[in-house]
Structure 1
Amino acid sequence: MRFAEFVAMIAAIMALNPLAMDIMLPALPHLGHAFKIADGNQLQAVLSVFLLGFGAAQFVIGPLSDRFGRRPILLAGMGVYCVASVLALFAPSFETLLLARLLQGIGTAATRVIVVSIVRDCYSGGRMAGVMSLTMMVFISVPVVAPSFGQALMLLTEWRGIFVVLIVYGLLALIWSAWRLPETLPVAKRRSLAIRDVLFAYHQTISHRQTIGYGIAAGTLQGALFAFVFTSQQVFTEIYHLGHYFPLAFASIAFGIAIAGFFNARVVHRYGMRALSHAALVGFVVVGAVMLLAAVIGFLPLPLFIALSMLMMFAFGLMFSNFTALAMEPQGHIAGTASSLYGTLTTLLGIAIGAFIGQHYDGTLLPFTTGLFACTLIAFAVVLLAEKGRLFTSHKAVS
């Protein structure tokens, strides 16, 4: 497989998750009307339940892929995603829809864990970070267009039309993967599923200072991102009164991550993962402080909010792919298990934080900006501990 096709394929596989997540944003009011749910905070469950399944399932998918190989587990997960999308399409009740969303999240967990494992199987160091950045650039471009695409679907059809699109895309990705994606884990390198061996691999992962440190930091920052996604429809329609135009504002903000992915892929070999991600983390703290101050004094008009949010997304884009590469770098011998534990940690931590912040939405930006700034400070402190007080270069370089 050529390099360009490899990057395009793994990006398309990973896109199953953000597409299923962000295409739902414009449909939330329609779901509320269809199932007679007036509380906007309750409708956030359509997003959070999906992420719950996504985060929890990663815990077991990694060991399974280390034992049976990447390909069969990936294809099985994508199959579950397609079946769950059919269930959502015909959901007769809100509870059934939430069950389908949970199963969708479980299915996409395989795409997240195994794609990272495949990249780690094939690359390491700066090359791995470069591939992850190219992948993330395509992967993150999906949230830029997904809400607008979802809004267009809402103008043409009802909310069930969204799941028709998800079914078609899932089937196409599954067929492409089954046809072209090779197995990247040789039989000689596969690991036992014995409880003792799995626990030992988990222990190796969580006991490594670099892996666990960047995992906690990434999860905390992802919490701020999830809080933004959970409340975005309410913020743009209730505070800024954008109505059906809110996907355009969301897209302009999410575009910052896509730019960061392209930029990181071009310069990470020159400056290194630590220098770029640590500089972005410092910038994230500054942006969080400015946004909180603006919310406190009551001066956060839409242009300023969009500008600060774009900077926030740009910084997040620089951090997340590099944090993932830094966390996975020492775990090549147990890439599947390490990727699953890392994914579970970052996703579940992000959901807990994001849901906590999102449920405190009160019609103002103060809960979100307070939570955002707190997340930036926690992530900064954790990275500082992981690197033993030295930023921008590895603490191992210190004599």
Structure 2
Amino acid sequence: MRFCAVRNTSARIDPTRLMMSNASPNAETRGLPYWELVTMVACLMALNAAAIDIFIPSLQEMGAALGVDDANQRQFVITAYILGFGGAQILYGTLSDRFGRRPILFFGLAVYILASIAAIFSPTFGILLALRALQGIGAAATRVIAISVVRDCFGGRRMASVMSLVMMVFMAIPVIAPNIGQAIMLFGSWREIFVAIAIFGAFVTVWAALRLPETLHPNDRRELTGKRIVEAFRIVLTNRVAFGYTVSTALIFGVLFGFINQAEQIYTGLYGLGPIFTVVFSATAVFMSAASFLNSKLVEKLGMRRLSHGALIGFLSLAALHLVVAYAMGGAAPLWFFVPIMTLNFCLFGFIGTNFNALAMDPLGHVAGTASSVLGFMQTFGGGLFGAAIGYFYDGTVLPMLVGFIILSVSSLICVVLAEGRLFDAKYDTPAAGSAPASTGAE
């Protein structure tokens, strides 16, 4: 029986359900409704977002408690997690292509939960950073498996549409998480935040264990040999479109991570908002989530390339305008200007990240697990390094951040042109491009 039964030409699962089976051939076949699949994949990815955004309000107290006086060094709590998260993805995809999605997912979830619990008792800043990196290493499995599951079941514009819905839920986390972190800080300390993260991880683990079947078809399992691994990596790295969009995504993710790293310093130090800064930060995330939802509606009509290329040019233009205004006003525009223009920028981000990732994955369905891990490693690890560099140059103004935005978005645009030959070329961007064959579940 085919594990993923999907009609790529319809918005429905045939016959309104995804029919998948467990890895065991004698296991009972289970159905997973489309809405539940999307929500579960979103929650798997949200574990990562929550582990970043929930700690933003606590960086100052965390640094003070562990003897870190340099505000820019406190950002390492975010950076350590991102680098662990990005670096570990290189392993999980290859393993999941051999052993299946479920075993690798549950291993990563176990590491994530145990590292979260251990971090509660961190005696020093160095140990905390090590545990944050370990937490990221565990969370890396959730990202690789989430994208692999989607690619196992969908292709082309349909995959981009599904990923947009996933990202809509995923983007809701930056709205909720900082405010949850701030609420916990009112009644406890940063250590209790790790308790909340561990509980969320345990909930998702139980849900996936009970409801998520194996989506890797037996015919797509790859032997775990050096030759096969090298072959899979060669396929990913020598595909011009996949590689170009992967590097482009890493560059544009550097923009996001750069902003997250210094958001608390900008809102509380530069603009003096105090604890209520999480509300303003969340407002930006609301619009970014709405843009992801709108992308899911538009992408099947307009195509990934038109939407993402136009959004990237718009992002660059707004960043340049913001830089000019901020420089003219001594290093920072007024809050009434800063918040709307940053919100517009990250609305456009909602049309870039999801589509770029789908464009990178689309030609690589036959090695989806390895592709997801290689792409995820390059995108997240690279984006983490770029974002860390932007954040570390914070000097009490927004100028270094905006210069970083412009450099990264121009570089991303160049990579897109090198991958495609030109912008807005939609001749390959058809509904059927990269789609998996339709299946009724009877194969």
What is the total number of aligned residue pairs between the two structures? Answer: 397
Alignment match of 2:416 (pick from 370, 380, 383): 383
- CA deviation string 1:337-365 (max 9, x = no partner): 00100000011111111111111111111
Q: Give the Cα–Cα distance (whole angstroms) in 1 for the partners of residues 422 and 194 of structure 2.
A: 48
Identity of aligned residues (%): 44
- CA deviation string 1:220-268 (max 9, x = no partner): 0000111000010101111100011110111111222201111011111
**Retained in 2: the 8 A contact 1:384–1:391?**
no
Q: Give the Cα–Cα distance (whole angstroms) in 2 for the partners of residues 131 and 338 of structure 1.
A: 18
Whether 1:162 and 2:190 are equivalent positions in the alignment is: no
**Retained in 2: the 8 A contact 1:387–1:394?**
no
Give how far 1:392 is off.
Answer: 4.6
1:107 aligns with 138
1:253 aligns with 284
Q: Give the Cα–Cα distance (whole angstroms) in 2 for the partners of residues 29 and 396 of structure 1.
A: 46
- CA deviation string 1:63-97 (max 9, x = no partner): 00000000110011001100000101111221221
Alignment match of 1:314 (pick from 347, 361, 371): 347
Matched to 1:348, the amino acid is F
Give how far 1:280 is off.
Answer: 0.7
Normalising by structure 1, report the TM-score: 0.98
1:205 aligns with 236
Give how far 1:288 is off.
Answer: 1.2
Normalising by structure 2, report the TM-score: 0.88
Give how far 1:396 is off.
Answer: 8.6
Q: Give the Cα–Cα distance (whole angstroms) in 1 for the partners of residues 427 and 344 of structure 2.
A: 26
Give the unaligned 5+ runs of structure 1.
none
Q: Give the Cα–Cα distance (whole angstroms) in 2 for the partners of residues 111 and 118 of structure 1.
A: 10
Give how far 1:394 is off.
Answer: 4.1
Whether 1:290 and 2:321 are equivalent positions in the alignment is: yes
Whether 1:305 and 2:338 are equivalent positions in the alignment is: yes
- CA deviation string 1:145-169 (max 9, x = no partner): 1111111110011111101111111
Give the unaligned 5+ runs of structure 2.
1-31, 431-443
Whether 1:84 and 2:99 are equivalent positions in the alignment is: no
Q: Give the Cα–Cα distance (whole angstroms) in 1 for the partners of residues 383 and 427 of structure 2.
A: 26
**Retained in 1: the 8 A contact 2:157–2:304?**
yes
Whether 1:281 and 2:312 are equivalent positions in the alignment is: yes
Whether 1:56 and 2:77 are equivalent positions in the alignment is: no
Matched to 2:110, the amino acid is G
Moved over 3 A (4+): 394-397
**Retained in 2: the 8 A contact 1:236–1:242?**
yes
CA distance change for structure 1 residues 313 and 255 in 2, over 3 Å: closer, same or farther?
same
Give how far 1:385 is off.
Answer: 1.4
1:268 aligns with 299
* Mean Cα deviation higher: 281-290 or 51-60: 281-290
Q: Which has the higher helix share?
A: 1
Matched to 2:163, the amino acid is M
* Mean Cα deviation higher: 129-138 or 181-190: 181-190
- CA deviation string 1:81-119 (max 9, x = no partner): 000001011112212211110111001100111100000
Give how far 1:32 is off.
Answer: 1.4
DSSP-derived class of the 1:386 partner: helix
